[in-house]
A and B are shown apart, each in its own frame.
Chain A
Amino acid sequence: MTAVDAGDLRASASRLFRRKQLAGFGLLAGVVLYLAYAAFAFDIAGLLGRARWENAVVLASDSWSYKTHVERQHRSGEIEIAIEGERRGTYPPGQAPDWIGLGDMVTVNLGHGATARLLPGNVTELEIPGYGSARLALEGRNISNDFGGVLPAWVSASDKRVMVTLPGARVTMTPARTEIFRYFFGWDLFWFTLDSPYFGHGTGEILFGPRLDPARGNIAGAAHDWWTNAVWHHKDVAWAICETILMAFLGTFGAALAALPLAFLAARNFTPVWLVRGLFRRVFDFIRGVDSLIWTIVLARAFGPGPLTGALAILVTDTGTFGKVFSEALENIDGKQVEGIRSTGANALQRARFGVLPQIVPVLASQVLYFLESNTRSATIIGAITGGGIGLLLTQAMQTQKDWEEVAYYIVLIVLMVMAMDWLSGKLRAALIGRGSGH
């Protein structure tokens, strides 16, 4: 090779390099431009202005903690202690958790060394570590305080309202009432509600301790009270999970059963008539194109809300997908096996059963199982639209915008459910492929 040749080669190589470089940077520039356009089209700036970040704080703190309210009505002097301020979480009169001392003077331990005392005469005394004591009192129709002229950063005070925010607790006094919130880690009443005799007892005590309810055994009683918990509805949640899995199961396998015979009609080697073949292929394309959202809407009108509608929506959509996938698998089978069966004088059905099915079943079953997992997720979403399963519970809990601990609970359950289905379908697929290769 001469020097001139090498020079030419280098020139052409660097031209190629430059072109590739240009193409690479052009692609990058295109992506950046598109994202800039999208940021403009989605109105990101306006969105950031409209976002309610306090909602995010509420969501984050409420999902892993709960608060207990201690409330005194100033007119009647009545004191109410309730978890999350809910009726179902209210302690009966005369009962209180151990961090509250009842009597003429109600002592509330606020945690972190702070204490609040509700004295007669609508006076509230606070002991705050690192600060000292403070006194709030209702005088006439105003609230007086002795914080002095310069308020600490954690106090906001006016004549009509004094609010003291402490780590893990909050005290608010208005002319009508005094409210104390104390925050705790965890989900309130998750195991037992207050009316259950097992509330406040540990696992060891329930398993091995003396009988807490004379009418029934501890384990059976505790299981029953947990199962019928009126705040968390464990029974309904379990049913909802079952419904969602049922939708995915019925939809996926129903679709596989419906698509299998139809796939023969859309495969080139089994249906030589192109009119029939083309017709079935277009039907599959149409079903897939209409999409599960529209099928869900149409079917919900006919069958009403519930798991059957969701199952049928998945079934119809996936019949289209499976029909396409199965017919492609059928076109790729080995024709020799079918010839062999034919030579024994078998009819079309027997040829399909002994010549075709053994070849495609492992492939198809693996596909179907793969869809089972993804359909569990779809069933959650479809359930939110048709009104069935855990998807419905999730949207309902979100729409009330207050029970974020329930939302967190459902999310954890959904993730566990999907992961379990993923694991199960993976195991079954592995077993199937192992058996298939063992032949």
Chain B
Amino acid sequence: MMEETAFGAFLAMGGYAEFVWPAYGVTGLVLLAIWLDGYRRRRAVERALQRLARDGSGQDAQGRDTGRNDA
């Protein structure tokens, strides 16, 4: 019971929950988004390089055309 109250107080942030938690939420979301974007780009180029080394089709794993220089 005591822990629940302490946790409730923690969540309430002294009445400023509606400002403190969104601040941490938006920080986490934006940093996660920038990291995910970088990760996805790296995976995409790694796959394209592998594919080019294999058969030179110039397409990524989903079969989309990825290169403007391909014939």
Are A and B a genuine interacting pair, yes or no?
A: no
What is the interface of chain A, defined by CB distance below 8 A to chain B? none
B positions within 8 Å CB-CB of A: none
